[in-house]
């Protein structure tokens, strides 16, 4: 059967191949250290799980309002107000099946042929794909490690055309762990406002921040910025709830309404039981969030130090999220078992074969000089994995 041009353009994730290889090795009984995961290793907090059980027992198991129940929207509104002083109406909130789905819906209702959307690189893998699927054109703005992976304003201005419709921000960032302070955000927002851009701000890691840093949603920078910003967040990362599939968008009523219409013709409501659990996540005690973030920080401090001690590794100090993103380009041109390492995928294969460690090649995120190491795993595994990497790279000549 001939597939649609749309489906033909869809790119399968290159990480799937490496994940499959890691799985195959594991099935053979080989002990692989997994640094690939894009999700917290902690269990979902007990109080949240209890609310889901209660929802099932009480029969809250039917269709709900398409964009989420009012009680959940109120819990989201409460969280945004308490954390950041942001004020939204229920008509400005929609809940989807995970933040990835929220972003997908956004792309579908906003972009079409001729629309250009600026994405800072390194980027989360789904942004370019979702924009392309909608018919829009992703415009990549490279950021440099030396500048802390931050957008260079002159570069940004040069990329703007009359077709530019939106700018995507993701901070703290997956994969780099870089984030923005208020002043930096204000400068970026000024450029966006002067050019009439919409800002899509993916703040899914807002609660996982280190070194005493605080998160500033770009929407807090003034009424005009708030009007032109769609804030995206969810429960997956902060509350260790990746499998529950709850994400949300907050912003312009017109856009939110269109997302509801789209969702009404596709998935309908997010899972009723998960919605009840998410209410507890947003409204209940927040100490577990802090505890998990502290633990991630402890691991970050350890792994970044260790990685930087490995000769020819250079690892940026992440300010948030749970990934280390070391530069491994110094190894390009070196060999093992007669094979030459030419890029991040080769290096990833080398680590899997020689160190029995699974990571994700940076090429997936738009940067072939890096690999992504998730430290959402136990300290014991982190130590074991880094020991193995350290030993394996000694073989590279």
Ligand X SMILES: *Cc1c(COP(=O)(O)O)cnc(C)c1O
By CB under 6 A, residue 325 contacts ligand X: no
Q: Which helix (H) or strand (E) holds 116?
A: strand 116-121
By CB under 6 A, residue 110 contacts ligand X: no
Copy the structure tokens of residue 191: 């450029």
Using the 8-state DSSP alphabet, how is residue 362 labeled? G
Q: How far is 53 from 276, CA to CA, in rounded Å?
A: 9
Tell me how far, at minimum, the Cβ of 364 lies from ligand X, in Å: 12
By CB under 6 A, residue 76 contacts ligand X: no
By CB under 6 A, residue 225 contacts ligand X: no
- Which CA distances in Å does 101 have to 183, 297, 395? 30, 28, 43
* Cβ partners under 8 Å of residue 165, min gap 6: 110, 111, 115, 116, 117, 136, 197, 198
What phi and psi, each to the nearest 5 degrees, are found at residue 239? -110, 10
By CB under 6 A, residue 174 contacts ligand X: yes
Q: Which of 36, 98, 138, 361 binds ligand X (CB under 6 A)?
A: 98
Cβ neighbours around 59 below 10 Å, total: 8
Residues 19-48, one symbol each (x = binds ligand X by CB under 6 A, - = not), give: -------------------x----------
Tell me how far, at minimum, the Cβ of 320 lies from ligand X, in Å: 11
Tell me how far, at minimum, the Cβ of 266 lies from ligand X, in Å: 15
Q: How far is 107 from 232, CA to CA, in rounded Å?
A: 12
Q: How far is 260 from 298, CA to CA, in rounded Å?
A: 40
Tell me which stretch binds ligand X (CB under 6 A): 20-28, 154-162, 234-242, 359-367: 234-242
Tell me how far, at minimum, the Cβ of 242 lies from ligand X, in Å: 5
Site for ligand X in 184-213 (CB under 6 A): 202, 204
Q: How far is 294 from 289, CA to CA, in rounded Å?
A: 9
By CB under 6 A, residue 15 contacts ligand X: no
By CB under 6 A, residue 242 contacts ligand X: yes
Nearest residue to 77 (alpha-carbon basis) of 256, 254, 212, 199: 256
Tell me which stretch binds ligand X (CB under 6 A): 70-78, 92-100, 182-190, 371-379: 92-100
Q: How far is 170 from 231, CA to CA, in rounded Å?
A: 10
Q: Which of 44, 176, 228, 236 binds ligand X (CB under 6 A)?
A: 236
Cβ distance 271 to 244 under 8 Å?
A: yes
Tell me how far, at minimum, the Cβ of 234 lies from ligand X, in Å: 4
Copy the structure tokens of residue 174: 């997956």
By CB under 6 A, residue 367 contacts ligand X: no
Cβ distance 364 to 347 under 8 Å?
A: no
User: β-strand 247-250 against 229-234: which pairing, if any?
Assistant: antiparallel
By CB under 6 A, residue 374 contacts ligand X: no
Q: Which helix (H) or strand (E) holds 211?
A: none
Q: Which of 77, 99, 256, 307 binds ligand X (CB under 6 A)?
A: 99
Tell me how far, at minimum, the Cβ of 107 lies from ligand X, in Å: 13
Copy the structure tokens of residue 142: 């490279």
By CB under 6 A, residue 117 contacts ligand X: no
Q: How many residues does the chain have?
A: 397
Q: Which of 128, 234, 251, 326 binds ligand X (CB under 6 A)?
A: 234
Tell me how far, at minimum, the Cβ of 100 lies from ligand X, in Å: 3
By CB under 6 A, residue 170 contacts ligand X: yes
By CB under 6 A, residue 300 contacts ligand X: no
Nearest residue to 326 (alpha-carbon basis) of 341, 318, 312, 315: 315
By CB under 6 A, residue 216 contacts ligand X: no
Angle between helices 126-134 and 99-110 (to 10 degrees): 30
By CB under 6 A, residue 361 contacts ligand X: no
By CB under 6 A, residue 124 contacts ligand X: yes
- By CB under 6 A, how many residues form the interface with ligand X? 14
Q: Coil, strand or helix: which one is 68?
A: coil
Tell me which stretch binds ligand X (CB under 6 A): 96-104, 144-152, 291-299, 358-366: 96-104
Tell me how far, at minimum, the Cβ of 247 lies from ligand X, in Å: 4
Residue nearest to ligand X (CB): 98
Chain residues binding ligand X by CB under 6 A are: 38, 98-100, 124, 170, 174, 202, 204, 234, 236-237, 242, 247
């Amino acid at each position: 059967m001939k597939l649609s041009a749309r489906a033909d353009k869809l790119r399968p994730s290159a990480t799937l191949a490496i994940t499959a290889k890691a799985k195959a090795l594991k099935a053979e009984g080989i002990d692989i250290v997994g640094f690939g995961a894009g999700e917290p290793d902690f269990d979902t907090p007990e109080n949240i799980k209890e609310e889901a059980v209660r929802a099932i027992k009480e029969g809250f198991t039917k269709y709900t309002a398409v964009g989420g129940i009012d009680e959940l929207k109120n819990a989201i509104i409460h969280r945004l107000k308490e954390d950041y002083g942001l004020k939204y109406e229920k008509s400005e909130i929609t809940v989807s099946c995970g933040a990835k789905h929220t972003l997908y819906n956004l792309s579908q209702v906003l972009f079409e042929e001729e629309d250009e959307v600026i994405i800072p690189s390194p980027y989360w893998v789904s942004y370019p794909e979702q924009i392309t699927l909608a018919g829009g054109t992703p415009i990549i703005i490279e950021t440099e490690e030396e500048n802390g992976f931050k957008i260079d304003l002159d570069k940004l201005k040069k990329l703007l055309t009359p077709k530019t419709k939106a700018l995507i921000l993701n901070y703290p960032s997956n994969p780099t762990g870089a984030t923005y302070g208020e002043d930096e955000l204000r400068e970026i927002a000024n450029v966006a406002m002067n050019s009439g851009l919409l800002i899509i701000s993916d703040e899914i890691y807002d609660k996982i921040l280190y070194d005493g840093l605080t998160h500033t949603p770009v929407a807090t920078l003034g009424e005009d910025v708030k009007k032109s910003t769609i804030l995206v967040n969810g429960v997956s990362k902060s509350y260790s709830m990746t499998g529950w599939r709850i994400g949300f968008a907050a912003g312009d009523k017109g856009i939110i309404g269109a997302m509801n219409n789209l969702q009404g013709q596709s998935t309908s409501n997010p899972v009723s039981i998960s919605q009840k659990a998410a209410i507890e996540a947003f409204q209940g005690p927040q100490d577990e969030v802090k505890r998990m973030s502290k633990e991630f920080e402890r691991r970050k401090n350890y792994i970044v130090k260790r990685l930087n001690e490995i000769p020819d590794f250079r690892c940026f100090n992440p300010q948030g999220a749970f990934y280390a993103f070391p530069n491994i380009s110094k190894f390009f041109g070196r060999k093992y078992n007669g094979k030459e390492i030419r890029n991040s995928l080769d290096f990833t294969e080398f680590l899997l074969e020689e160190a029995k460690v699974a990571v994700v090649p940076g090429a997936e995120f738009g940067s072939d000089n890096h690999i992504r190491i998730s430290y959402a795993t136990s300290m014991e595994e982190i130590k074991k994995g880094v020991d193995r990497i350290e030993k394996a790279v000694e073989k590279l000549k």
